Each structure stands twice: as C-alpha cells, then as structure tokens.
Copies of this chain bind each other. A is one copy, B any other.
C-alpha cells in the first residue's frame, strides 16, 4: 500500500493525527519536497516528531524510474508531501503509475494554502475564480520575457467580480516575493495600456499558517515596497467586496478605509 500523506500548511505539527499514525506505523517513510516546501520545519524535526527515519526522494526518483515503489507491493510505504497531496500533477502521475503496478494507494489530506487563504483574509471561498502562478521572467535570445498569464487571469476574474489567488514562483532555492510579483503585474498592465491597474486593491500573505504570518492589504503599488519578510509569499487580487469581506480586510489586513469604499458590492 502506498500512502500519500499531506503534511499541511507550514510545520511538522500541521500533519493530521491520522497521517501521523500512518507515518509511525509505516514500514518505510519517504518524502519529497521539490513540488511543495514546508518552510517552518526541517527533516530533522520531522524525524523527531514522527519517530521515524525519512528518506528524501529526488525529482528523478519521483518522475523517472521510481524503484522505491516496488516496496509498496508488499509493505506499507508512506510518501510525505507538503500541503495536501495531489495538488501537483507529479503526485497524480505517480499515483496512477502505482495503480497500474497493482499497488493500492490512499491519500491522507492536509491543510494547504488554497483552502487557508479565505480564512486568513476573510475573502469568501466560493468567490474565488481560477488561480494562477506569477513566474519569474525568463530570457529568450537575450530578451526578457514577462508572462502575461497571471495578469490575464486576474482581469478575467475581476470582470466577473471574482477574487484571484496568485501563487508566486519557486525555482530551486529562489522564492518570488510579493514585491516582485506586484512589480511584474504592474509592468504587464502598463504594457497593455492599463495604467490604473497599479492602484488596484491587493492582499499579500507571507508565511501562512505560522505564528509570525504577515498579511497586508493595499494598492499593488504599495505592496511593491511593503516589507513582508521571509517566504513563502502568496497574493490575492480581490474582486468587488461584500460588506463583511471589506470589514475583514480592514480588521485583519489593515486595508485603508478610502481604498475599500469603491470596492464594496
């Protein structure tokens, strides 16, 4: 049996009691942290709480020849992943390969950023449209390319009065911060002739789920320079706000009164 165990939002104690029991009783425990990072902990702290040795799997051991999967034919194997498993296509692909090998699989769910953001911001869950990722610019033949995909997703949702959750890119040990994401969105908007976009309301969230979480609402221009501290960062561009949502952003995220007045539905 192969168990995909979600470790939840932030540190080693965000795993569920069910997940913990499975990890403690598994024959072998693996982990992979390249699709999703658990920022508030380390392998050593995970091993200490779980009382188990954890073997880290590399990207190629997950996506390529996964010899370790063979163990799951006869024994209980737990694979630890950040957040809720299966958010990443990588896990889905691995699960389907395991099933094709005749291995039973089970998913132990965990808290994760997508479901936590409504609670953190006070923005209502059912009013979020499609989410998107703000990628680092890349260089093609000496030219710097900034993706317009996240900007287009935001505009599409705004037209329908929906909120947008934006994930910020991670590449190796490089984490995009809210400042850079705000600057990139404004850059794309300006190129599209949408100069007002910089004065749009936005909410930045750093270290969701931790005790020193930082949340701040303001214009995109303001978020470009606000100091959020260490990663991970995500951002929300809200659509028009219900009364309660506006009140929440004022009380939970310090949104300026005058900015909200134009936003209420």
Instruction: Give chain A's interface residues, CB within 8 Å of chain B.
Output: 4, 6, 8-9, 11-18, 20-21, 49, 84-87, 89, 91-93, 95-96, 99-100, 107, 109-112, 114-116, 118-120, 122, 124-133, 156, 160, 162, 209, 244, 247-248, 251-252
Contacts and interface: CB of A to CB of B under 8 A. Distances in A.
A247 to B, nearest CB: 6
Contacts of A95: 122
5 closest Cβ pairs, A-B complex: A86-B119, A109-B111, A115-B115, A13-B18, A13-B17
A99 B244 CA distance: 14
Tally of this chain's copies:
2
Contacts of A244: 89, 92-93, 96
A110 B133 CA distance: 23
A142 to B, nearest CB: 31
Contact of A109 (B8, B18, B20, B132): B8
Contacts of A132: 126
Contact of A111 (B6, B21, B131): B6
A125 B36 CA distance: 14
23 contacts: A6-B111, A12-B17, A13-B16, A13-B17, A13-B18, A15-B16, A17-B49, A84-B116, A86-B118, A89-B244, A91-B119, A93-B244, A95-B122, A96-B122, A96-B251, A99-B251, A99-B252, A107-B119, A109-B111, A111-B115, A126-B130, A126-B133, A156-B160
Given A244-B93, A247-B96, A85 B126 contact: no
A131 B125 contact: yes
A217 to B, nearest CB: 15
Given A15-B16, A15-B17, A119-B87, A129 B130 contact: yes
Contact of A96 (B99, B131, B160, B248): B248
Contact of A14 (B16, B120, B131): B16
Nearest to A156: B160
Nearest to A49: B17
A95 B248 CA distance: 9
A114 B84 CA distance: 11
A129 B163 CA distance: 11
Contacts of A85: 119
